[in-house]
Structure 1
Amino acid sequence: RAGLKRGETMTRIILIAIVLAALFGLANTRTGAVPDGPATATTLAELEAGAGRFEGQLVSVSGTVGERMSAFGWGGVRLADRRGHQVLVLGLAAPPAPGTRLAVTGTYRTAFSLGDISVPVILAAP
């Protein structure tokens, strides 16, 4: 096969992001290590536009649940808004069903970045 379709590429990127997030930070949410202070309420579009500003910060966002996933005993979802901005949310005890509106608070991280491809993750607060 000469190339991958866009959906296949995104699936692979999401899988890589899940593994990286699990290895490099999700353990902190299990032990309660979250940034000090109140969460910054923001939108998925603002996260995308100013990712560096939010890196490592406690944020609150809302959106619609897309796919659910599970890795290393942690649940997660793809959270999206109506304009296509999205973030992976990991560390959920029981990920809600696709189509559900979800508000979540957690630590924002860029799990994977390669050129203009970036996979933002929110590690849900316990």
Structure 2
Amino acid sequence: MAGIDGFGTQLKRGDGATPSETFTGIGEMTSIGGPSLARDTYDVTTHGSPDQWREFIGGLKDGGEVSGDVNYDPSLHDFLVADLEDKSPRTYQIVFPDPEQTTWTFKAILTGFEPSAPFDDKLSASLTWKVSGKPTLS
């Protein structure tokens, strides 16, 4: 049987300490997406390109964004609102629930925090981070 149950995946936030940073899970996460890796391409087509097909080379890479949703608890998630004030990237980790505890580690800036309070449902918040630099998979 193929596939791994995503239940138990964690998004962890680093405390910035050196030389040994400590990571703490962001509580009440309901979904985690990303990083959305991408690469630019540059068109290098010439009048002599074979059979009139466009040709490309790879350009700069982009770590994209990481997104997440939480069951919003203002007393538990106040630090996220404060993170919007940070101009410098912070280190985060996405830890998957596979036996190897596969981990994406990346630096990112919180760029979006959108709470929602419907009259007939739970408090929630959608979060967006812009990845800065190269994410590493281990």
Structure 2 length as normaliser, TM-score?
0.29
Counting helix residues as a fraction of each chain, which structure ranks higher?
Answer: 1
Larger Rg: 2
